[in-house]
Amino acid sequence: MKKKVLVGATNFSATCREAKELLEKNGFIVDENPHQRPYTREELKEIVGDYAAVSAGMESWDREILSLAKNLKVIGRFGVGYDNIDLKAAEELGITVAIAKGINGAAVATMAIGLMISVLRKIPMFDRTTREGQWVRAMGSDLDGKKVGLLGFGDIAQKTAKRLSGFDVEILAYDLFPNEEAARSLNVKLTDKDTLLRECDIISCHLPNLPETRHTMNEAAFARMKPTAIFINTSRGPLVDEAALYQALKEGVIAGAGIDVYEQEPIRPDNPLLTLDNIVCTPHTSAETNEVCARVGLNTAQNIVDYFNGKNPFYTITRKPFDEA
Ligand SMILES: NC(=O)c1ccc[n+]([C@@H]2O[C@H](COP(=O)([O-])OP(=O)(O)OC[C@H]3O[C@@H](n4cnc5c(N)ncnc54)[C@H](O)[C@@H]3O)[C@@H](O)[C@H]2O)c1
């Protein structure tokens, strides 16, 4: 009987034709997410029992869902963040998890810089008011001459630093496990978190979402920032206390923000952040380009095919089943 693959990521047929062909050529039946949103837990509970493999989007793969997925052998995460997968439960249940390491970082880095420029130069506001027939020629602020602080200095932060090298900016970074060689080669000054928050004009968050990083950006952290500074988050929503961000933006504790990720996704329409003028919001789309989706889709499909051919998928983050003989 043919094995079934569940695709959690959205728009799979449209952006990942090659990946779908690879899976079908290798004898898999591919079931795509028909929604423009992640599957809900209730939807997953109904269907997971049928699948041998998953190309996982942002839906929740917690212990309960994984336990119901009796035939599931491998999850290829459609991206690099795996905070929606209970790795411990997956390991205990013998489910291999792989991520698409190093593929979408450039797109996310580009989006982080796009958000910096959008906030500094007020591009969304100018677009809206010009379409409305107004001629609002308010002043923006330069990216050149600014001090940019990267909170976390892993793959995406380093790619952001590389892309920022074309601007006349000074770059600082804070990381618990700092990569000094990368910092030297990218002309980035490593520093502590407090200095980064106090000195920088732009703080861009690139941390992983872990219990110890939750609400890294809270009331105290925003209070350390300059009132002229802006905050960018293309990382994960739970890193930021959104109530504190709202207060900081509303009361002028900081000047602006560019936000791609939220504590609750999709964002609720009544989220107070959406009432503010000094924030630019995007719907978790930093990695969503046709080129990246095609490459990430192919990577997750190849991981699934490799697994069932007795090979370890590329960049496995739970056990590597075929090493241990
Ligand atoms: N918005 C999107 O569409 C999108 C797409 C891809 C990735 N992401 C997110 O971007 C983030 C960064 O991804 P990456 O590939 O650069 O990850 P990475 O693992 O390469 O880098 C993370 C860095 O954070 C550091 N770190 C870990 N814990 C820390 C702590 N407590 N304090 C300080 N530093 C700490 C690590 O040492 C590492 O250098 C992740 O949260 C990921 O989920 C978002």
Centre of ligand 1 to C-alpha 63, Å, is: 23
Q: What is the pLDDT of residues 125-160, one digit of tens each?
A: 999 999 999 999 999 999 999 999 999 999 999 999
Q: Which residue among 58, 77, 80, 177 is best mutated to probe the pocket of ligand 1, counting the most ligand atoms within 8 A of its Cβ?
A: 80
Q: Which residue among 58, 156, 193 is best mutated to probe the pocket of ligand 1, counting the most ligand atoms within 8 A of its Cβ?
A: 156
Q: What is the pLDDT of residues 5-25, one digit of tens each?
A: 999 998 898 899 999 999 999
What is the average per-residue pLDDT within 226-243? 98
pTM of the model: 0.91
pLDDT at position 31 over 70: yes
Q: What angle do CA 159, 162, 164 make, to 5 degrees?
A: 110
Active site residue 319: no
Q: Please give the pLDDT value at position 324.
A: 53
Centre of ligand 1 to C-alpha 80, Å, is: 9
Q: Please give the pLDDT value at position 1.
A: 84
Average pLDDT, the chain: 95
Q: Please give the pLDDT value at position 318.
A: 84
What is the DSSP track for 115-168?
HHHHHHHTHHHHHHHHHTT---------STTPEEEEES-SHHHHHHHHHHTTSS
pLDDT cut 90: percent of the chain above it = 91
Q: What is the pLDDT of residues 255-312, one digit of tens each?
A: 999 999 999 999 999 999 999 999 999 999 999 999 999 999 999 999 999 999 999 8
Q: What is the pLDDT of residues 72-99, one digit of tens each?
A: 999 999 999 999 999 999 999 999 999 9
Atom 29 of ligand 1: nearest residue by CA position = 176
pLDDT at position 325 over 50: no
Which member of 24, 41, 265, 295 is catalytic?
265
